[in-house]
Amino acid sequence: MKELHLISFNYPYPPSYGGIIDVYYKIKALSGLGIKIHLHCFADSIPETVHQEIKSITENIFFYKKKKNPFHYLSMVPFAVAIRTSDALFENLMRIEAPVLFEGLQTTQIVSRLKNKGYKLYLRFHNNESEYYKGLSASEKNIFKKIIYRIESLKFADYQKKVLKEFESVFCLSEKEFNEVNSYSKNARLIHIFHGNKSVKHLNGKGDYFLFHGDLSVSDNKKALEETISLFKNLPQYRLVVASDRAGDDLKKKINSIGNINLVPIETSENLRLLFENAHANILLSYQNSGTKVKVFNTLYNSRFVIINQNITDDPALMSLCCLGSTLDEIRQRIIEMAAEDYNENEIRSKVLGKNYSDDAKAEEMCKVIFKN
C-alpha cells in the first residue's frame, strides 16, 4: 500500500476556511484512493481528542505546538515559518519512509534536513505568501499590524525563491500561482482547490436574500464587507444577510443599525448549506490578487447567482459561471440586474464543474505525480 506524510499548517478540522478546506478534502480524496496518510499538524494547542472524521481518513496523526516566542519576528525566515519547527517532526518522519507533502510554505522549515536524507518532497502552494501578506498590509488599519505584515511579505519574497527549487513538484491552486512558481523553479503543476462538493445543488427561481459570508477576523474580508454594506445601505429594497461566526461588537452594532442587513452565525456546515440554498445571489469580493478563493466553489455548487470582483478567481471557466463587477458601481449594477432574474443555470454549472473540478480526479492526478504511476 502507498504511504504519504502530509504536514499541515493547522489541524484540518472542521474544514471551515480556505486553506484548511483544501487540506481536509485532499486528505479525504487521497484516502479514498487507498493512500495511507501519516498526518502531521502544527497547532496553537494540542486538541484533547481527534475527530472521528480525521481518524477515519488517516493512518496516524501527530501534533506539534506552534512556538509562541515573539522573538521569532526577528528571524531571517518569515515568522509563519519560524514558529512551525519541531525536532519531534523530523524524528517521526524518519520512522516511516514515504514521500512528504508540505501544506503551504509555512511548514517547510525542515526541508533542508529531509533533502539530505533522500526523501521525495512535494509542496501544496496555497498562496504566493509574499503577495498575500502585502495584501494584508494594504487592508489592515492597525499601523503596528500593517508594518508586521509588510515585513513578513518581504521575508517571504526572498524565502520562497530559495525553497521552491527544493521540491520534486509544486502543486498550485490557480493559473496565477502556476505561472509565478514556474518563473522561479520550473516544477509547477496546476491542481485546483479540493472543496468537498460532489454535485451541483439544483435550485430554481428566486432566493430570499443576497448573502455575504466569511471569516471577519481577516482584514481582507472585513474590507470586503465594509464595501458590501455601503452598497446595500443605499439599496434598501434588497435584503443582505451577513453570515459569520467572527464578527466584532462594532460590526454587530453597525449592522443592527441598518434595516435591510442582518448578521447570522454559521455555526455548522449544514447551516451554511441552508444559507446558500435560500440565497438569491452571493457577494464575493477580495482586495488581494492571490488566485482562486475556495468560497467560489461552495457558492457555485450550492447556491444561485454569484457576483464577484476580479480578485476572486483568474480561472476563465469559473469566471464564465459568475457575474463580474470590476468596480463598486458595476457590482451595484449586477445586484440590481440579478435581483430581477430567475435562476436557471443548473445544467451549465453541472457540466463545467463536473468536468474540471472533481476532487477524485485531482487526487488521482496528484498520485500519478507523487507515486510516478
pLDDT digits (tens, 9 = 90+) for 19-73: 899 999 999 999 999 999 999 999 999 998 999 999 999 999 999 999 988 878 8
Q: Which residues are within 8 A (CB) of 71 and not within 5 positions of it... i.e. 6 or more apart?
A: none
Confidence tier at 373 by pLDDT (50, 70, 90): low
Full set of structural domains in the chain with CATH: 3-195+358-370 (3.40.50.2000), 209-354 (3.40.50.2000)
Spacing of C-alpha 241 from chain mean position? 22
Residue 288: pLDDT above 90? no
Q: pLDDT tens for residues 118-155? A: 899 999 999 888 988 998 898 888 999 999 999 999 99
Confidence tier at 175 by pLDDT (50, 70, 90): confident
Q: pLDDT tens for residues 196-211? A: 998 999 999 999 999 9
Q: Which residues are within 8 A (CB) of 358 and not within 5 positions of it... i.e. 6 or more apart?
A: none
Rounded Cα–Cα distance for residues 200 and 274 (Å): 14
Q: What is the pTM of this model?
A: 0.83
Q: Which residues are within 8 A (CB) of 275 and not within 5 positions of it... i.e. 6 or more apart?
A: 211, 213, 241, 243, 264, 266
* Average pLDDT score over residue span 263-275: 88
* Average pLDDT score over residue span 352-357: 86
Cell of 287: 482586495
Residue 15: pLDDT above 90? no
